[in-house]
Amino acid sequence: MEPQEANGYSDNGGGDGATTKVMDPARLQDGLTTFYWWFQGVHGYASIVICVFGIVTNLFNVTILMRKDMRTPTNIFLMWLAISDILTMVPYIPFAAHFYCPANITPFSHPERFTYGWIMYMLAMVNFVATTHTVSIWIGVALAAVRFVQMKSTSRGPVAKERRIYQVKVVTLAIYVLSCVVLIPNYMTNKLERVERDNVSFYAMEDIKLATNETKNITIINVVTYAVVAKIIPCILILVFSGSLVYTLTLKGRNRRRRLATSSCSNNSKYSRQATTTRMLLVVIILFIITELPQGILILLSASVPGFYTEVYLSLGDLMDFIALLNNSINFVLYCIMSQQFRLRFAQMYLRRRVRLKAVNSETMTNSEKLILREPFTRTTGAE
């Protein structure tokens, strides 16, 4: 999620370089711009609600997933994903409250909202949020890859588990560090400027003149790097690993279905669980691709097609932000729907209910089924 616009001026999201442009009222006749002004009226309040919900539920995720009995390689990834989502949403609340509430705030109607201090806060938030969101995406990639490797691996037992947990911690640390390094061009591109217009003075993000002859080389590097590294490549990798996992589950299910024709009902129920997992996996993949891939494509078009940024990208900025916030906040709901163990732990810890985890007879289950019952799902990987 990258903040795109703030009532009357725009910054293209930290990821693709910040810019400042005052929207031309004449463009209200355009359909996309009309939608921009309409959605801006509800974006601030809706975003605050989503952020508050997402922060609270992600705190639930962290406290549940860090329990000793929930300690698995997958759950460690999910815990750090929840932390990254929290870090993404926390700074967005004051940003949305200041620049979007009430609606239709512009530098000309409320110049006191566009002071040096608040635009500096926006600059810091743009860089910070671009980094945390990049971390979230790549944790999703790592989770999909590790989950696929687990399904293929024949190594089991406590020693193998501890080795995988150590590897997960190393990969997570590398993702956090490399995300900061890769986005250095982004940090260098975003700057502030003082604007004097129509006898009104205010501060705003510097105009980067995207897709024009005046576009700086570092801006192009920033835009392309963010679109490719933080959007398009992760989506492709998620699709590859998750698609391979779906194929593996489907192939195993097909072979098992032939063998289960004369088997017990318990064996049939095991296949049913795998079939359900596969269907959920498809939903997870679709949600992730719908959220991230269009943003990457739009950013590349903004950098290469003259006028696309001002005529199309800016008008859809608030909508893309809101969809990204939903993506950051929905994991808790998905875990509760898809993981019985997560639901039971949540009831034990926060609803004060006495519940018993159903005993699992590991002697009669396949390795993949143990993993499915053992670990909750996540929308960002399609691997659970």
Q: Return the structure tokens found at 233.
A: 């490549």
Compute CA 98 distance to the chain's CA centroid, rounded to the nearest angstrom.
23
- Residue 20, pLDDT score: 38
CA contacts within 13 A on the Cβ side of 365: 17
| pLDDT tens, N- to C-terminus, the chain (384 residues) | 554 444 444 433 333 333 334 444 444 346 787 888 889 889 999 999 999 999 999 999 999 999 888 888 888 988 999 999 999 999 999 999 999 998 888 888 888 999 999 999 999 999 999 999 899 989 988 888 887 787 777 676 778 888 888 999 999 999 999 999 998 888 888 888 898 888 888 999 887 878 888 888 888 888 888 999 999 999 999 888 888 877 777 776 666 666 655 555 555 555 555 555 445 555 666 777 788 899 999 999 988 888 888 888 888 888 999 999 998 899 899 888 877 788 889 998 998 765 554 444 433 333 333 333 343 333 333 333
pLDDT at 120: 94
What is residue 197's three-state secondary structure? strand
pTM over 0.75: yes
Residue with tokens 């709901």: 333
- pLDDT at residue number 160: 80
Long-range own/partner contacts, residues 346-350 (CB < 8 A, 24 or more apart): 346/60, 346/64, 349/63, 349/64, 350/60
Residue type, 347: A
Choose among 229, 382, 381: nearest CA to 296.
229
∠ Cα 309 310 311 (to 5°): 95
